[in-house]
Amino acid sequence: ARLSPMSGHAHTARQLFTEEFTLSEYERMRDDSVRTEAFHAAIERHAPGKVVLDIGTGPFALLAVFCVEAGAKHVYALEVNPKAAALARKALRGYTNATLLEGHSAELELPEKVDLLVHELLGDIASEEGVVPSLCDAARFLAPGGCRSIPQAARTYTVPIQFP
């Protein structure tokens, strides 16, 4: 593992996601059928035959499993939280074309370049979970010729309100 210029961000992310892990939050995301079906459809369309990097795979490795089942050549599932990584390792057991890597992406190296990034690093405010620095750092893993990201964009909408 090499340390990148993003190591300060990695330390902050490790602290955030180690301290705030609750399985119920991941269950809520998994059980959001609109969200999950949208990810599944996009992955089925873009993952076959690709080398995929799943940043922040979570305890169910849900997006990584979708990629493997869609026919990805190989999936590297990254998880910074040790408890979530232990559960993800169990979820990926039996999939020979999936590798779980524990740690922050800024602290790790991959054995090959990837064609597709998948992630769910979005909070209630799109940038809340450090998506921008994480994806900027992940660019070093991309195969020549570019890459697709799922999701490809995110927006946060706000509405001004006033409390009495």
Q: Which residues are catalytic?
A: 120, 129
The CA distances from residue 136 to 6, 14, 28, 77, 100, in Å, are 9, 17, 27, 17, 21
d(CA 16, CA 13): 5
| Residue type, position 150, single letter | I
Question: H-helix or E-strand containing 132?
Answer: helix 131-138
C-beta of residue 46 within 8 angstroms of C-beta of residue 75: no
- Assess whether the previous peptide bond of 144 is cis (omega < 30° from 0): no
Helix (H, G, I), strand (E, B) or coil at 89: helix
